[in-house]
Amino acid sequence: MRCVGVAFAAGVSPHLNRYVTPTTQGSRSGAIIAQAWATLLSVGDAGYAKMASETDGLMKRVAACVAAIPELDLLVKPDAAITPIVAAPGSGVDIYGVASFLEQKGWNMFTGQHPAVMSVCLGENHLRVLDDW
């Protein structure tokens, strides 16, 4: 399968008007898929299923923690390892300030805008440290 982006570099060169890539990921390296494949080979189906179940449990725990704080809301009900958190309407909470505070405590929070949001990307390491969050 090849994906073609027409006029990808329009204006850069008259000879470079199409971008052809062997995958839908474009020019990204294959490192992420190689890591996923190596993980699956290393831990097997059962190990991978266990990790997926544990990550799902973590996500539900984070969602419950957020629900217990009236000033915070989930942007959406998470169904994967990324949990987006926003300030509850009318709470006056600066979600970027909360993210900065958590980053000072060693947490890597992703932020976005429109709406202001911080997200936690959960992984296997969070099994040991989520209670400190």
Q: What is the CATH number of the domain that holds 10?
A: 3.90.1150.10
pLDDT, one tens digit per residue, over 47-57 is 989 988 998 99
In angstroms, rounded to a whole number, what is the distance separating the alpha carbons of residues 67 and 27? Answer: 39
* Dihedral sign (CA 93, 96, 101, 105): positive
Which stretches of the chain are DSSP H helices? 31-67, 95-104, 126-129
Residue 110 has pLDDT above 70, yes or no: yes
Token pair of 5 as six digits: 């982006």
pLDDT, one tens digit per residue, over 9-54 is 444 455 555 555 556 555 567 788 888 889 889 999 899 899 889 9
Looking at the 3D structure of the chain, how many domains does it have? 1
- The parent domain of residue 22 ranges over 3-132
Predicted confidence at residue 67, as pLDDT, reads: 94
Residue 87 has pLDDT above 90, yes or no: yes
Q: 86 pairs with which residues across the strands?
A: 73
Range of 28-32, 34-38, 60-64, 120-124 with top mean pLDDT: 60-64
**Higher local confidence (pLDDT), 79 or 118:** 118
